[in-house]
Amino acid sequence: MRTDRLRWWHLPAVAEMERAIFGPEAWSEGLLWTELAAGHDYRAVFDCAGDGPDRIVGYAGVALNDHEAWINNIAVDPAARRRGVGTRLMEDAIARARASGVKSVFLEVAVDNGAAQRLYDNFGFYGIGLRKNYYQTTGTDAAVMRMDL
């Protein structure tokens, strides 16, 4: 496996993964394009096994400014879970935030996504708030989490 910058030509595969993982709350290919065009830093983990092209098994996007970083999106292909892909993406996102000199990293996570919350807890994130009905299609609340660097 290798981690590399996500490029525009990867977006169809990422959008397909979004739909498979997040269903009605998935980000569209157009929204992902907007994220890249805005200069947000997206990275992907590629599975380099086999004779075919490298396959994206996870991705994460980070928006950085002078004072804080937001992990906008993070997802791991269900077939690649429990192989350290999520941990690799989080380590990379936090390293990029730290290198940029920000003081805090934030994210939002569905309150019913216990597996993701446990991953974030392991990195030192803690809850700071709740966004009611944040996920518009399902009405699911989002926990807002913060990590101080």
The residues assigned a catalytic role are: 108, 120
As given in the structure block, the two tokens for residue 73 are 């999106």
DSSP the chain: -EEEE--GGGHHHHHHHHHHHHGGGPPPHHHHHHHHHTT-EEEEEEE--SSS--EEEEEEEEEE-SSEEEEEEEEE-GGGTTSSHHHHHHHHHHHHHHHHT-SEEEEEEETT-HHHHHHHHHTT-EEEEEEEEEETTTTEEEEEEEEE-
The set of residues, in sequence order, having a beta carbon less than 8 Å from that of 5 and lying 6+ positions away, is 41, 42, 43, 44
